[in-house]
Structure 1
Amino acid sequence: MSDELDVHVNHRPAGKLFRESGEFVFSYSEKANPDAFVSLTMPVRKKDYSHPQLHPVFEMHLPEGYLLSVIKKQFAKLTDTDDFGLLRLLAPNIRGRVEFNPDDHSGETSLSLEKLLHSDNPTLFEELVSRFALRSALSGVQPKVLATLENKATLRLEDYIVKAWGPDYPELALNEYCCMLACQYAGIPVPEFYLSDDESLFIMKRFDLKDSGEALGFEDMCVLQAKQREEKYTGSYEQIAKTIKTFVSAENKKASLEQFFKMMVLNNILQNGDAHLKNFGLVYESIDSIRLAPAYDVVCTTAYIRQDISALTLMGSKKWWPRKHMERFGVQVCDLSAIKARELYEECLRAIATVQLYIADRLSREPAGEKAELLAHLQTLIANNIATSKPARR
């Protein structure tokens, strides 16, 4: 198989990615327009972009954890499964602003969203993996797959990320559902998301594809900070704020920093120790319209690792900070006024109070077991934060 991939941006040829003499090289086509950039960090130019490892913007498409093991098991005997081999294997099925060898794209295969939400088939997720594994250019170690589903309301075929969970992280779908509800109630942009009836699956619509079919650009913070995926736990939340200030369009900067602050408040309250660089990103229609991506992959990790800590440093430490320190972060790092930081924190408190009502109702009907333990842990976190989060004195 060739160690070369044709790269297209918005369905137009942009350049070639190839491996040569132990290096990965991306070369723009002589006819590439300035808006055909593959990454905000790689503007169109005549000089090649050479890198000792796969460029972060291309590495972003590679699977990790569960999916990686599934794909390697199925294809290791047939082709190389190093980074370039994996990208080449997935390339015909990668859909988005940046695509590879689009002439080789396979046809659509789908089932209904309704079936996923209401199925009682215990092997449904395994069937999804066998059907959609090569379409699932998804990072993260959690069992997940990218599936094309028919939306009964619109009759359109749409892409959804379907996540399951194993014995190491019991009731992870319910965990993520509760945390995403908190983000939604706080007014943070979130993708369309669902919890299956049996609570075995968390289902989230792709946010980088519009209903019209047009693809938005998306780049996570690893890409924007020129880091490989194994470096996703290195760095700080201050650096993420700096990246937002560097790349986000002027008209979107204020709203994006406010959104980032609320995301940080909720990650702190809900003790999300997996809020690493790949779980924040930017979306854009063009170089002139860049904003912070919706919240995604928000879970309470201390439900499983009781002494878990923050994924990145905040104010020089990986710990869970009280309100006054978070508001200081909002003022000093997110460029908020003290009044605005206080208002946004209150929005987050009202959001978790609403989620607390949902959790309390669930707990009142839930027998003892892992599900009740998860809900009780979330309830305790929320209750403690509401009780101790009095506005900081000025």
Structure 2
Amino acid sequence: MMTKARTLPSILTVSLHGKQIGTLTHLGDDRILFAFDEAYIEDAERATLSLGFKDEYGALATEFPVTQTRALPFFSNLLPEGHLRTYLAERANVNPVREFALLEALGADLPGAISIALAGGDPVRVEDQPADVTADIAEQPFGFSLAGVQLKFSALLEARGGLTIPARGLGGDWIVKLPSREFEGVPENEFSMMTLAGLVGIDVPPIELVNLADIGNLPDGIGLGDGRLKGKAFAIARFDRGADGARVHIEDFAQIFGVYPEEKYKRASIRQIARVIGIEAGNADVAEFIRRLTFNVLIGNADMHIKNWSLIYPDQKRAALAPAYDFVSTIPYIRDESFALKFSRTKRFDEFGMDELAHLAAKAELPEKLILDTATETAARFHEVWAQEKAHLPMSAQVRTAIEAHLQSLRGF
């Protein structure tokens, strides 16, 4: 049972790359106001916090509405959802719907290079909380989400090769995704799809398939440490943490578009994402985006919502497409004829083709030849790699069979 919530501080500082850039103020009655510091506003060399904070002229927006209970979407998307949110809120002794309190409690290890702390003090560190708060544990309001049946934590790679979840949630450089109780072989599925993606030429972080027995310190209280989960877990290196532990800033497209997590399936399209990448990152990243899009159509991933696409800021200012993540063939578990987001005019897998891609290119004002050539080359490479590797990867026969049938339904791919 939730104990009585503690009294909230009135001001939290927001830092980027270790430098304060703004504040979140609790105004009472669960009202929250975000404001940039004047020094950040006036800094011509300032690091980028989010493309979502650009105004219509491309300048830094500086006026924000007061929000109720929830923070602005940028900050709301830093927090976990669903069961993991409930668990962490209980550990922190806060109400899970009160995002100011959650940001206070979890601010020491947020995704990217952002941190949130009590004004005049250090971030609160909740005892024994799992490290990672990038977990996308969805409530599935608008479609099937494999994120809703897996829990993700940040983990340290130990010298012996096992993975241990840090007790206090700091310093983790891997994300560990435990198996689903409902769907069999999801970690093996994701490992196989991400391996195939790397072979196709997609930018994939280091990945591992690890035994659950090699993961230490699974937290109590969320049904994971009771021995009932068996088999393998999927681990992927965090690309928002450098080799020396330095933080690299990232943001997902829900943050960029100012969309709350529960709207991640319906408030943007692939065409809109491509347009932003073309403007902010350039043609090489547009090609990589189309490569990933084509690949996920081919494997039947119906869960590529806007939180599964992210930008990264290697030099702290300019955006690039972040490495790939969350590539899973969803169709073996729940049959779906449609992609999570509309491509340009349609969501249907069997309507993804040259005509739809040409329409996307025109509307997004991107080079048509680049997009069509990339999709064609990716499809050809995929079929080559699929034929060579499908029998050797650890995916189940169910997954292999579902993808084979799906490929037969696609036109021209």
Q: Same fold (TM over 0.5)?
A: yes
Counterpart for residue 200 of structure 1: 232
Counterpart for residue 14 of structure 2: 7
Counterpart for residue 80 of structure 1: 95
CA contact (8 A) 2:86 2:96 kept: no
Counterpart for residue 271 of structure 2: 238
Q: Write out per-residue CA displacement over residues 251-309 of structure 1, whole angstroms, 9 at most, x where no aligned residue.
A: xx011110111111111111111100100111113465311111111111111111352
Deviates more, 1:348-357 or 1:58-67: 348-357
CA contact (8 A) 2:210 2:233 kept: yes
CA displacement at 1:57 relative to structure 2: 2.0
CA displacement at 1:389 relative to structure 2: 3.4
Distance 2:154 2:65 in 1: 30
Counterpart for residue 123 of structure 1: none
| 1:167-206 to 2 correspondences below 5 Å | 167-197=181-211, 200-206=232-238
CA gap 1:215/1:337 in 2 versus in 1, 3 angstroms:
same
Residue 67 (structure 1) aligned with residue 84 (structure 2): yes
Q: Write out per-residue CA displacement over residues 9-30 of structure 1, whole angstroms, 9 at most, x where no aligned residue.
A: 1111212112225542122223
Counterpart for residue 122 of structure 1: none
Residue from 35, 38, 49 that aligns with 2:49: 38
CA displacement at 1:55 relative to structure 2: 1.6
Distance 1:282 1:3 in 2: 31
Distance 2:255 2:368 in 1: 30
Task: State the AA in 1 paired with 2:105.
Answer: L
What secondary structure is seen at the aligned counterpart in 2 of 1:50?
A: coil
Task: State the AA in 2 paired with 1:311.
Answer: A
Deviates more, 1:37-46 or 1:284-293: 37-46
CA contact (8 A) 1:257 1:334 kept: no
CA gap 1:339/1:231 in 2 versus in 1, 3 angstroms:
closer
Counterpart for residue 283 of structure 1: 312
What secondary structure is seen at the aligned counterpart in 1 of 2:307?
A: helix
CA gap 1:334/1:214 in 2 versus in 1, 3 angstroms:
farther
CA gap 1:319/1:99 in 2 versus in 1, 3 angstroms:
same
CA contact (8 A) 2:280 2:319 kept: yes
Counterpart for residue 158 of structure 2: 150
Counterpart for residue 64 of structure 2: 49
| Structure 1: tracts of 5 or more residues without a match | 108-129
What secondary structure is seen at the aligned counterpart in 1 of 2:52?
A: coil
Distance 2:301 2:61 in 1: 43
CA contact (8 A) 1:93 1:106 kept: no
CA displacement at 1:343 relative to structure 2: 4.9
CA displacement at 1:86 relative to structure 2: 1.8
Distance 2:320 2:60 in 1: 24
Distance 2:201 2:153 in 1: 27
CA gap 1:291/1:79 in 2 versus in 1, 3 angstroms:
same
Residue 91 (structure 1) aligned with residue 107 (structure 2): yes
Q: Write out per-residue CA displacement over residues 312-334 of structure 1, whole angstroms, 9 at most, x where no aligned residue.
A: 11232221034434553564347
CA contact (8 A) 1:258 1:334 kept: no
Distance 2:111 2:252 in 1: 16
More helix by share: 1
Q: Write out per-residue CA displacement over residues 182-239 of structure 1, whole angstroms, 9 at most, x where no aligned residue.
A: 2211211111111125752110011122224332221111111111111101121111
| 1:203-352 to 2 correspondences below 5 Å | 203-234=235-266, 235-248=268-281, 253-286=282-315, 288-320=317-349, 321-325=351-355, 327-328=357-358, 331-332=361-362, 333=364, 335-338=366-369, 341-352=372-383
Counterpart for residue 139 of structure 1: 136
What secondary structure is seen at the aligned counterpart in 1 of 2:291?
A: helix
Counterpart for residue 389 of structure 1: 412
CA displacement at 1:340 relative to structure 2: 6.1
**TM-score, structure 2 length as denominator?**
0.75
CA displacement at 1:346 relative to structure 2: 2.3
Counterpart for residue 5 of structure 2: none
CA gap 1:276/1:135 in 2 versus in 1, 3 angstroms:
closer
Task: State the AA in 1 paired with 2:103.
Answer: L
| Structure 2: tracts of 5 or more residues without a match | 1-7, 138-147, 162-170, 213-230
Distance 1:270 1:246 in 2: 28
CA displacement at 1:362 relative to structure 2: 5.3
Aligned pair count reads 352
CA displacement at 1:352 relative to structure 2: 4.3
Provide the identity percentage.
24
CA contact (8 A) 1:258 1:336 kept: no
CA RMSD, Structure 1 to Structure 2 (Å)? 3.1
Distance 1:50 1:286 in 2: 30
CA contact (8 A) 1:360 1:379 kept: no
Counterpart for residue 116 of structure 1: none
What secondary structure is seen at the aligned counterpart in 1 of 2:173?
A: strand
Task: State the AA in 2 paired with 1:376.
Answer: T
**TM-score, structure 1 length as denominator?**
0.78
